[in-house]
């Protein structure tokens, strides 16, 4: 055999090994937040169920985890092509979709009207949403709590024009209330339970009767199209973990306490507020449509979002989670 043919075969073999390595090193990138809303994905991680379900589809898939403080930076990461799945509120997910981030909603992470609320100081004189008029009220702009705040103000006959709106990260709002630099804030768990347990804040109004508090699992549209079986595997693992939390709240709380930034005893209390079913029901879809209308009406969405086309409810049905 000529030296040229030997070299050609050697190069081909090296390239083949490289391609095989790439195939083996197939990866899924997940963007999460360290809050109880996404507890099932952390349970599935620690229990090994995510790896187990994915291995049924394709062995050797590597999971790459990223943690973010809120939904808006998850959008930025998706826009940069750095994520395959994201766990975030309906509002930031809608905003991302409206600016051209090509995603699909493949399931819910959780819902719970008591898991987001407008809070005030424990000794505050504010007793009713109408009392917020002229007050300094904080929210994380672009979060799903912003929509809740709009709905709570509406209950009091107010709009954002009637308050001094301040943008703060979720974790900084209760301390600002305690310090007296703001009067109220729209927040979500775990800060509600953490600061309520210290008896330094109280809930002025939560989502009961006005907002279910739907959060979603989004996936890059190309990923769903090209790897539907892997998407179904992730949803199966999520559903398994959701069932485990419901049946074993104390054990689950011990398991994911560090992931959710709450001690186990408080986390058990928070679990009781959540419905972790990933199935997208008719009323969930309707809530997301209402959020889209609100965001479009106030000019937050850059373009309308066709919610019906955005929600992919087939994967859960085909994945056997119903």
Q: What domains are defined for the chain?
A: 7-112+213-318 (3.40.190.10), 114-206 (3.40.190.10)
- Beta-strand pair 215-220/85-89: antiparallel
pLDDT tens figures, 41-99? 999 999 999 999 999 999 999 999 999 988 889 999 999 999 999 999 999 999 999 99
Pairing of strands 85-89, 116-121: unpaired
Give CA–CA dist 86/112, Å, rounded: 19
Residue 23 confidence (pLDDT): 36
- pLDDT greater than 60 at residue 18: no
pTM of the model: 0.85
pLDDT (mean) for 192-207: 96
For range 178-202, the mean pLDDT: 96
């Amino acid at each position: 055999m000529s030296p040229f043919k030997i070299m050609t075969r050697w190069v081909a073999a090296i390239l083949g090994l490289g391609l095989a390595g790439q195939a083996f090193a197939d990866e899924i990138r997940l963007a999460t937040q360290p809050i109880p809303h996404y507890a099932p994905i952390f349970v599935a991680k620690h229990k090994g169920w995510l790896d187990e379900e994915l291995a049924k589809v394709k062995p050797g898939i590597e999971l790459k985890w990223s943690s973010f403080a809120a939904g808006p930076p998850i959008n930025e990461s998706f826009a940069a092509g750095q994520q395959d799945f994201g766990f975030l509120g309906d509002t930031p997910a809608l905003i991302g979709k409206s600016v051209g981030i090509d995603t699909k909603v493949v399931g819910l992470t959780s819902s719970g009207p008591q898991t987001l609320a407008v809070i005030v100081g424990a000794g505050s004189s504010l007793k009713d949403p109408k009392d917020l008029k002229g007050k300094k009220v904080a929210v994380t702009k672009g979060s799903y709590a912003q929509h809740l705040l709009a709905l709570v103000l509406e209950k009091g006959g107010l709009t954002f024009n009637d308050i001094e709106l301040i943008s703060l990260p979720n974790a900084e709002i209760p301390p600002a209330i305690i310090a007296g630099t703001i009067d109220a804030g729209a927040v979500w768990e775990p800060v509600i339970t953490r600061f309520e347990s210290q008896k330094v804040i109280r809930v002025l109004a939560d989502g009961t009767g006005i907002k279910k508090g739907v959060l979603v699992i989004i996936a890059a549209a190309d990923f769903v199209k090209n790897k539907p079986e892997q998407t179904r595997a992730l949803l199966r693992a999520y559903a398994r973990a959701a069932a485990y939390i419901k049946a074993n709240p104390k054990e689950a709380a011990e398991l994911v306490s560090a992931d959710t930034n709450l001690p186990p005893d408080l986390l058990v209390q928070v679990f009781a507020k959540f419905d972790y079913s990933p199935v997208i029901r008719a009323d969930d879809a309707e809530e997301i449509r209402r959020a889209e209308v609100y965001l479009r009406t106030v000019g937050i969405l850059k373009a309308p979002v066709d919610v019906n086309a955005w929600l992919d409810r087939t994967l859960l049905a085909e994945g056997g989670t119903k």
